[in-house]
């Protein structure tokens, strides 16, 4: 009787939903590269924007790199640099497709201002997407983060924007697939 209930054809949608949830909430261990100048991908996904932009949180010109996460990517977010969280901001907003550039300014988002030991400022912004309705951030101002350390999670498709100093040497390009805490996005000038 139990086997018939668990294996009946009608139960297939429930089993598929359970498998999808298990794969979505996975969070594999990652090994961060040793280079202290490395800026790592803060999320798994595809790079959808690279270029000069205005950092809306630190009010400065910066190089912006955006990583789009679809529903099949790991959604755990990791610190791109070794540094101190100087400030955190939360802004409510809409839920347009996170693959669009306007999502950076219109969607719900949570930003962290990270300062490296050498004084470089990096802004890391979690952006909710069309389906995502929950941004989780586990750190606040004063927290010390190591490159690749988990700091948050965004549920069901979203993006993470990085605002880097203009003198950062980009290593990733538009369309690249990246892995959080492992893929080097850029190298910061100076030494930590």
Q: Is residue 23 a part of any domain in this protein?
A: no
Q: Is residue 165 a part of any domain in this protein?
A: yes
Q: Is residue 56 a part of any domain in this protein?
A: yes
Q: Is residue 166 a part of any domain in this protein?
A: yes
In the prediction, which pLDDT does 154 show?
82
Number of residues that this document lists for the chain:
192
Q: Is residue 14 a part of any domain in this protein?
A: no
89-127 pLDDT tens trace: 988 876 665 666 766 777 788 999 999 989 999 999 998
56-96 pLDDT tens trace: 999 999 999 999 988 777 778 999 999 999 999 988 876 66
If one compares 134 and 55, the residue with the highest pLDDT of the two is 55
Q: Is residue 53 a part of any domain in this protein?
A: yes
Distance between CA atoms of residues 143 and 159, nearest Å: 23
Determine whether 166 is exposed, middle or buried from the number of CB atoms within 10 Å of its CB (0-12, 13-18, 19+). Answer: exposed
For residue 14, which phi and psi values (nearest 5 degrees)?
Answer: -70, -40
Residue 158 known to be catalytic:
yes
Q: Is residue 47 a part of any domain in this protein?
A: yes
CATH number, domain containing residue 111: 2.70.70.10
Q: Which domain holds residue 64?
A: 37-187
Domain tally for the chain? Answer: 1
Q: Is residue 70 a part of any domain in this protein?
A: yes
Q: Spot the catalytic one: 66, 76, 104, 158.
A: 158
Q: Confirm if 103 and 97 have CB atoms less than 8 A apart.
A: yes
pLDDT class of 1 with cuts at 50, 70, 90: very low
Number of other CB atoms surrounding residue 116 within 10 Å: 21
């Amino acid at each position: 009787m139990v086997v018939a209930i668990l294996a009946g054809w009608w139960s297939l949608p429930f089993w598929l939903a359970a498998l999808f949830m298990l794969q979505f909430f996975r969070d594999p261990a990652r090994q961060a590269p040793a280079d202290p100048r490395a800026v790592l991908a803060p999320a798994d996904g595809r790079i959808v924007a690279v270029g000069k932009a205005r950092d809306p949180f630190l009010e400065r010109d910066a190089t912006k790199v955006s990583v789009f996460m679809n529903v099949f990517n790991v959604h755990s977010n990791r610190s791109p640099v070794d540094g101190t969280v100087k400030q955190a901001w939360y802004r409510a907003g809409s839920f347009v497709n996170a693959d669009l550039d306007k999502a950076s300014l219109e969607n719900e988002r949570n930003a962290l201002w990270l300062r490296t030991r050498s004084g470089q400022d990096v802004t890391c912004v979690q952006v909710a997407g069309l389906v995502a309705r929950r941004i989780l951030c586990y750190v606040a101002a004063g927290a010390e983060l190591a490159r690749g350390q988990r700091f948050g999670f965004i549920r069901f498709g979203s993006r993470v924007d990085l605002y880097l100093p203009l003198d950062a040497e980009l290593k990733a390009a538009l369309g690249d697939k990246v892995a959080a805490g492992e893929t080097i996005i850029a190298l910061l000038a100076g030494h930590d």
